Amino acid sequence: MTASNFIYLDNNATTQVDPAVVEEMMPYLTELYGNPSSGYRFGTQVNKAIETARERVALLLGCEPSEVIFTSCGTESTNSAIQSALLMDRDRQHIVTTRVEHSATLKHCETLAKRGYEITWLGVDSEGQLDLAELEKSIRSDTALVTVMCANNETGVLFPVDEIAEIIRKKGALFHTDAVQAIGKIPVDLAEAKVNFLSLSGHKLHCPKGVGVLYVNKRTRFHPMLIGGSQEGGKRAGTQNVASIVGLGKACEIAGENLDHEAVEVRALRDEFEQGILAAVEGAQLNGDPIHRLPNTSNLAFSGIDSEAVLLLLDQHGICCSSGSACTTGSVHASHVLKAMGFSDERARSSLRFSLSRFNTREQVRQALEIVPNVIQKLRRVSHGG
Ligand SMILES: *Cc1c(COP(=O)(O)O)cnc(C)c1O
């Protein structure tokens, strides 16, 4: 299967690598193979490329280059932030998080709970939003870290990170935000938000898989998870994934140039798709906050159908989308995000996530609008035995 004969509407699972990113990476996969830690010019020129990438990431985030640590993925970034916060202060071992986090945070916190750590799980309302008064009350004198995502990968719901940061700062705890889905889609300015840690991942913003960033505020003490060499200012040992880091720098530069495009063009495509589906499919409903939402994501419930069956049929018609998050596909569990919003198992199991990117075209949206309603109606007829 190649990109020319299918319609990829699963950009929250992963994204197409931008050809300009590949081009930027190529020299570091071929002739420029020096070790960035070596002292001769064949190594130092590679180190220079890493520093250029760091500056590009910092520019997009509104932070200093020294606050950017390159990691292997978004999951490593979130894990490192949580581990560091727990190691920094023995008297602060309590963690606050939400019930709608990505498994990178959720499973980690569940594991910590099994090891005896106390975790407070914040719920959300039917639009997927937090109660900020509850969040404030949950922070205690022994709270090490509050970890709350920026944008939800399943519904696209945006949490008010600036407001949350202010609440946490006043209470004296550390704040980590998983911004993997937000970076490149909406503006995030660390010069404004009082965040201690932020995670992002390359493959969600048109860079290859296997590279990420952990932002650590320069006034926040940090305890590395990977210990060894002095790479990344001693904050993340191990020889860097140079080509991917160079690619991530380029991807961040392009993302910065395309933020307006995401806000206007991608949003317009998403809205055309969403309104088309809601008009064509009886009883279809939006899951999540209609206003405070990523411009690319549409999570829709279609009563009376099994989303796994729809996925298979849509696949046969060349459309890729997702039921819940990609990490839960194949398992029988209904989406924990939709369940946390108070929806029934039935509604969660009849929901699909469509997520667009700047590589989708109006023509693809029109084609999808021909296919998706038909597939759903066909399945509804089958399940009603008609
Ligand atoms: C994809 C994703 C992650 C994990 O990133 P990886 O680089 O795949 O490890 C974490 N959080 C959110 C919200 C994500 O969408």
Q: DSSP alpha helices (H): ranges in 40-159?
A: 41-61, 74-88, 103-114, 132-138
Residue 331 has pLDDT above 60, yes or no: no
Q: What is the 201 CA–ligand 1 centroid distance (Å)?
A: 6
Mean pLDDT of the region 328-343 = 82
Q: Percentage of residues in the chain with pLDDT exceeding 70?
A: 96
Architecture of domain 3-16+258-383: Alpha-Beta Complex (3.90)
What pLDDT, in 10s, does the model give residues 237-259?
A: 999 999 999 999 999 999 999 99
Active site residues: 327
Residue 153 CB less than 6 A away from ligand 1? yes
CB contact at 8 A, 120 and 95 = yes
Q: What is the 75 CA–ligand 1 centroid distance (Å)?
A: 6
CA separation, residue 343 to residues 139, 285, 297 (Å): 27, 12, 19
| Residue extents of the structural domains in the chain | 3-16+258-383, 19-257
Which of 155, 176, 178 for mutating ligand 1's site (highest number of atoms within 8 Å of CB)?
178
Enter the pTM of the model. 0.96
The ligand 1 atom at the shortest distance from the C-alpha of residue 202 is 7
C-alpha closest to that of 314 among 272, 385, 376: 376
What confidence tier does 193 reach under pLDDT thresholds 50, 70, 90? confident
What pLDDT, in 10s, does the model give residues 105-146?
A: 999 999 999 999 999 999 999 999 999 999 999 999 999 999
Architecture of domain 19-257: 3-Layer(aba) Sandwich (3.40)
Residue 208: which residues within 8 A CB-CB, separation 6 or more? Answer: 17, 21, 25, 202, 244, 247
What pLDDT, in 10s, does the model give residues 165-188?
A: 999 999 999 999 999 999 999 999
Nearest CA to ligand 1 atom 6: 74
Nearest CA to ligand 1 atom 15: 153
Residue 235 CB burial class (10 angstroms; 0-12, 13-18, ≥19): buried
Token pair 């639009």: residue: 127
Residue 46 has pLDDT above 60, yes or no: yes
Return the pLDDT at 326.
45
